[in-house]
Amino acid sequence: MSEKIESGQSEGSMEITLDSELVGRRVEADGGTQVGNTNFASRAEFEGVLTGRKIVQGDPPWYWLEIGQLSVKPDDFEDEFVWCEESYVYSLD
């Protein structure tokens, strides 16, 4: 069950929903992103639990899932949560 909880800045092109069916699922994910405004990027692996928060951005829709309780993350990763693109999130349950 999904519930819209907030909208992004970009004129309705992005919204954050809460999907109760996702909450608590154990997952692993392949992440990574561009480094600042450079041509560099990084890859990163995560393992944790879905919080249920989900971003839906643009058309065609681009889905992002928030992962918390991170048990696997890069050595130097200090955040408690990470948003990962849905295609690279793998269920561990």
Partner 1 sequence: MDGNPLNTKLCEEYGCEIPVVAFAHTKDVIAAVSNAGGIGILGATGLKPDELRSDIRWIRDKIGDKPFGVDLLVPASFVEGNREDLDEMIPDEHRTFVQHVKSVSGAPDSPPPSDIDPTYSGYENLLERSRQQLDVLFEEKVPIFASGLGSPAFIIERAHQEGMKVWGLVGLPRQARRQIEAGVDVVVAQGYDSGGHSGTVGTFTLVPEIVKMAEGTDTLVLAAGGVSSGKHLAASIAMGSAGVWTGTIWLATHESETAMFLKQRIIDSKVEDAVQSRAMSGKPIRQLRSRWSDIWKEDGAPDTLPMPLQGMLVNDVLRDIKEANLEDWMTTPAGQAIVGIDAIKPAAEVVYEMADEALELFERATEASATA
Interface residue with partner 1, options 2, 5, 58, 92 (CB under 8 A): 58
**Count residues contacting partner 1 (CB under 8 A)?**
43
Residue 39 near partner 1 by CB under 8 A: yes
Residue 74 preceded by cis peptide, ω within 30:
no
Q: Does 19 bind partner 1 (CB under 8 A)?
A: no
* Residues contacting residue 19 through CB under 8 Å, at least 6 positions apart: 1, 2, 3, 52, 53, 54
CB 57 within 8 A of CB 14: yes
Q: Which residues bind partner 1 (CB under 8 A)?
A: 8-10, 13-14, 29-44, 46, 55, 57-58, 60-64, 74, 76-79, 81-85, 87-88, 90
